[in-house]
Chains A and B, each alone.
Chain A
Amino acid sequence: MLIRSAGPTDLRSSEITPESLYLSRREWLAAAGLTVGAIVGVGALLPRDAAAQQASGKPYGLQADDKPTPWEDVTTYNNFYEFGTNKDDPAELSRGFKPRPWSVKVEGLVKKPGNYAIDDLLKPSVVEDRIYRHRCVEAWSMVVPWRGIMLADVLKRAEPTPGAKFVEFTTLYDPSRMPGQRYPVLRWPYAEGLRLDEAMHPLTLLVSGVYGRDLPNQNGAPLRLVVPWKYGFKGIKSIVRIRLTDTQPATAWNVSAPDEYGFYSNVNPTVDHPRWSQAKERRIGEFLRRPTLMFNGYANQVSSLYAGMDLRKNY
């Protein structure tokens, strides 16, 4: 398996992160250390464990003050209702989960459907490390160094037919291994979906690792989706099926509360959740809230996908 940390991209050069923001791991550490030194007096505003961060990879569209969230937070503050509804449940209750062997079906409106062992699915692609902002619909956020492949790669290999318009993803359904599925909190199995052009976008990843290691169970092992300009719940975890369809797939949270969670669920500071504002977010480890960016800061790369659409209606 080829792993490289700066991968190929279809982004136009003007949209690529300026070199000044393109820090190596050592520079990250130095920057974090300097920040620690500079604001040690106002410790309350500091990201914790800043110096302990070991992220490497390409900081796609990251801003100077986006620092990778410590491993401990990334792996203990999780929404993964298949393992319980409290943030610390998934880390606790997924301990015995065995993410291998694992197979993923790629099917539906494709010329080459298949049922792949996870490693065979990943093998033909370039595995990349990319640091993305992660914005939860609950108005908290992280910066996460993911490791994964472009979803577009997998889809292209399956050769979608001209009728394919959407991609549907399904999580494993096995209440004996995922104890949260014993309770009807959501409709199981969890399902998510993207429009085909969203799925083919170079920012959209099938993720198999974080911080350079295999994905921990609580983060969606062994394979999850990451769509950095959408709210975190679109990033379906422990995927067993990828199906191309001609109709918009039903998605778990939309089924659960259609007035609160739409199919698109693009990060949008101007469209509030009915119960709270989305204008600001609390970055894990920080006390003061920061403004939420349109499309989570990836507007340059993705806003053309939604040209002419009413994003208030298509929330």
Chain B
Amino acid sequence: MSPVIRILARRFGISLIVLVGVSMLIFAIARIIPGDPARIALGPNATAEQVAAIRAEMHLDEGILAQYGYFVRDVLRGDLGTSLYTNRPVTFDIRQFLPATLELVILAGILMVGIGLPLGILAARYRGRWPDHLIRVLTLLTVSAPSFVWAVILMLIFAFYLPLFPVAGRLSDSYDITRVTGFLTVDTILAGNWGAFVDALHHLILPSVALALSGIGQAARLTRANMVETYDKPYIEMAQAYGFFPSRIARSYAFKPSLIPSLTIIGLDFAAMLGNAFLVEAVFAWPGLSRYGVAVILRKDLNAIMGTVLVIALTFIVVNIVVDLLIAFLNPRIRHSTRGAAS
């Protein structure tokens, strides 16, 4: 069996265990709710009969294990129940709102890697000198405020004082794009509407920068730390002894080997943006999953809460599997774990 497949199999095994655990955790959270879930779902004006009916529907009169069994069975069927807030199936709502959030998170992830890693490389190459100090202070600043603070500050400066970007929303009202994937950047291209695509991207920039800022700082700091450690390795001195350019040493000799330990954390930070998207979406009136999430939470809409958390956890797990695959691909030790020529 190839080592990559072995790692994948192990990873899937662990993910499966974790998923079962997550479902139990979510189920447990839903059951610590004080009071009668049926009564909460229906509100104070419901009759005793209505409450009894809902209790039966939610299997609330059966044992806790049986309730968990029903929950798992429904989830496996792709049935997350009906949202009491929108009166629609939770899966429908999630499909409606998830793409907007993912679009934001993916662009923020690209910014995190695209800006954070080069900054980290720069700091490590000039470690102990002024570029390093400057980058250290800047990145420490970006990780020191929650994304909603950055969102507010960016909005104030780049949308109000210098009206370079739109204040809110995903698309200007003048465009009407047929929904295909839910990703506006994709749908506008599918519609062949170039102007709308630029407009969608224009709307995306400020929120995704706000969301990415602390991730950029984290990625840069992590890259710097791992690279500085790598700079002490003998093969760096050997590269210097061969007269390679410092920029080449930084990229191929110090950065590449140090990327592997950084990746796991960068993956976690990327996935954590799913949570922080809640904050940025609130500031920019972004019609994504989090506005739905906050709305259903304030209404104690149990099915919708459980469904939202489950989908986010699933996305998180998928991201981690992808990161593990990437590591297996980048690390020759895993790719070729058989010994080659003998001594």
Same complex origin of A and B:
no
A interface, CB within 8 angstroms of B:
none
B interface, CB within 8 angstroms of A:
none
